[in-house]
Chain A
Amino acid sequence: MNPFVFHVPTKIAFGEGLASGTADIVKELAGSRALILTDKPLMQTGIVSQILEGFADMKYVVFDDVPPDSDVDCVNKVADIARAEECDCLVAIGGGSVMDTAKVVNICLTLGGEILEYQGLNNIAEQLLPLVAVPTTAGTGSEVSMVAMVKDRAEGKKLLFGSRYLAPSVAVLDPLLTLSLPPKLTAATGLDALTHAVESYTAVISNSVFTDSLCIDSTRMIFENLRAATKNGGDIEARSQMLVASTMAGVAFTNSGVGVVHALAHSVGAKFGTHHGIANCIFLPHGMQFNMDAVNERYAKLSRLVGISSSRKDSVAAAELVDAIEKLCIDCGLPRRLRDAGVPELKSDDIEELAFLTGSDPAIMFNPKDCSPEDIKGLYERAY
């Protein structure tokens, strides 16, 4: 057996209505002044106000202006507020952007100094303040991941932070919070989770039975429930399964990495603002075809284990998995080409730039097969 390291620093709690008890979880973590991060659309749904009712007997401050693709300015602004209010714990209620912002604010708040000092991998060597993550989408896995990304708009870059101390202390999984997610966002975030599971299962260091188990079961749960969650948002069982599957895939990818699909999605997102889940769902079949000769056997195994294929022939079983993903995307109404997702015509300069961004994305390091700039350009051309 190959060597592996597996971390689950986050306590994971699941239950319908559990989020209303978030304040009690904060108190268990000895928090006395909470910084609560969220976004404007969530404030308007009333989800946050229900959670805030539990904080009535403790001090807290709410920052509700985290943008969809958060940035350094937002982090610095929130960190200043938290310092002024002497906050000693954080609560993130929202999707990936809110949770990632909270993680980076936590670095600034706990360790002080400039945010750029902590950019990188394994730089943070001490416990940060307690952070409770309450995801309102089922896809990013940020509620359990040990990484965070925020934009440096002035420099036009994404900053990556990675450390096991970045993982939230507690993830509160309450499916009721995902009921109001519109169908397209439900489908797109669900495909983000599926991409985490499939890429983690075949990542270059994915040798652990722990990550394998999480990838296999989360893939199965997504195939069984994403259509229902998308078509009937009120299906609480489908929502529950999707939320748990997303977190499972999150634990898997934070331990084993992802791959070329994520590198492509990050790049197209950075250049054109394409939604991460949408980009992943477009690139996933192309990325799998590209990796096919390297991990055909793994795809085939996954295909059989989740009940998609009964073929003994690896090439057939693996192809059936790719087809099943394609069909899932179509059934959920997701775009199948970049041009259908609002990406303008890709000129050769665009493809050069995208290939550079993709080649320098850390996710690509975990891909099971080396990707040359020409390979990456080919993937963009096929996905367009």
Chain B
Amino acid sequence: MQFFANTDELHQVMKELWARIGRDPDMSEKLLQSKLIVQFQYREPEGRVTVDCSDGKEMRVTVGKQPIKPIVEMSMKADVAHDFWLGKVNVPFAIVSGKIMARGPVAKALQLLPVIKPAFEIYPNVISQHKKVMA
């Protein structure tokens, strides 16, 4: 059974997670330095989260279809994303086995992996708070 019941739930959780990442000075500073626009495209359920660091000053996170053209697109099942944020995904293995697709200059995005690792500790809290609200 998939973890996220529907697109709304997926979008709410991811938006809250990225908002907290944006409030973390270490992570947000390094993400903004990258000036990347990364779009995460999810399936089962469908979802789309765009993280725009292009101006280097403010991290803008939007969900759903956006007119903005991402520099890097990462596609995966929403369950893979859930496991990733729990720190349970071996990214190299997920790429080699085709579970994660990446379009664009992937090296730039992969370089951010160590940067966002502290979010693995934030995510369970985001999930538990979300579940309380839903209950």
Task: Using CB atoms and an 8 Å cutoff, list the residues of chain A in contact with chain B.
Answer: 3, 5, 117-123, 157, 159-160, 162, 164, 203-205, 255-257, 359-362, 365-366, 370
Whether B101 and A122, one on each chain, are in contact in the complex, defined by CB atoms closer than 8 angstroms, is yes
Interface residues on B, range: 20 to 34
Closest-by-CB residue of B relative to A256 is B96
- Are B110 and A119 in contact (CB-based, < 8 A)? no
Cα A121 to Cα B72 with chains together (Å): 11
Nearest chain A CB to B91 CB, angstrom units = 7
The contact string, 1 if C-beta is below 8 Å from chain A, for chain B 35-75, is 00000000000000000000000000000000000001100
B114 CB within 8 Å of chain A: yes
A123 / chain B contacts, CB cutoff of 8 Å = 101-103
Out of A119, A205, A360, which one reaches B96, CB within 8 Å?
A: A205
Minimum CB–CB distance for B14 against chain A, Å: 21
User: In the complex, which residues of chain A have a beta carbon less than 8 angstroms from the beta carbon of B98?
Assistant: 5, 122, 164
In the bound complex, do residue B92 and residue A5 qualify as a contact, i.e. CB atoms below 8 Å apart? no
Contact yes or no, A5 B97, CB < 8 A: yes
Asked whether, in the complex, the Cβ of B106 is within 8 Å of the Cβ of A121, the reply is yes
The 10 closest A-B pairs by CB, nearest first: A120-B103, A122-B101, A360-B111, A5-B97, A120-B102, A205-B93, A360-B107, A121-B102, A205-B92, A120-B106
Q: Which B residues are closer than 8 A to A by beta carbons?
A: 72-73, 90-93, 95-98, 100-108, 110-111, 113-114
Most buried by A among B96, B98, B101, B108: B96
Pairwise interchain contact A257-B96, C-beta atoms closer than 8 A: yes
Asked if A122 and B92 sit within 8 Å, CB to CB, the answer is no
Name the residue on B nearest A356 (C-beta).
B111
| Contacting residue for A160 out of B73, B91, B107, B113, CB 8 A | B107
Distance from A261 Cβ to chain B, minimum over Cβ atoms (Å): 16
- Inter-chain contact B102/A255, CB cutoff 8 Å: no
Pick the residue among B91, B95, B111 that contacts A122 (CB under 8 A).
B95
Contact of B111 among A117, A162, A203, A359 (CB under 8 A): A359
Query: In the assembled complex, which residues on chain A have CB atoms less than 8 Å from the CB atom of B90?
Result: 204-205
In Å, the complex CA distance between A121 and B103 comes to 6
Residues of A within 8 A of B105 (CB): 119-120, 157, 159
Complex: A118 Cα to B105 Cα, angstroms: 10
Given contacts A160-B106, A360-B107, contact A5 B96 (CB under 8 A): yes
Given A120-B101, A122-B95, A255-B96, residue A362 in contact with residue B114 (CB < 8 A): no
List A contacts of B93 (CB < 8 A): 3, 5, 205
* A351 and B96 alpha carbons, distance in the complex (Å): 30
Contact (Cβ within 8 A) A365 B104: no
The smallest beta-carbon distance between B87 and chain A, in angstroms, is 14
Taken together as a complex, chains A and B put the C-alpha atoms of A204 and B93 apart, in Å, by 9
Complex: A203 Cα to B92 Cα, angstroms: 10
List, sorted by A's number, 15 A–B pairs whose CB atoms are closer than 8 Å.
A117-B103, A119-B105, A120-B102, A121-B95, A121-B100, A121-B101, A122-B101, A123-B102, A123-B103, A157-B105, A160-B107, A205-B93, A255-B96, A362-B106, A370-B114
Name which residue of chain A comes closest to B99, CB basis.
Answer: A122
B72, B100, B105, B110 — most chain A CB neighbours (10 Å): B105
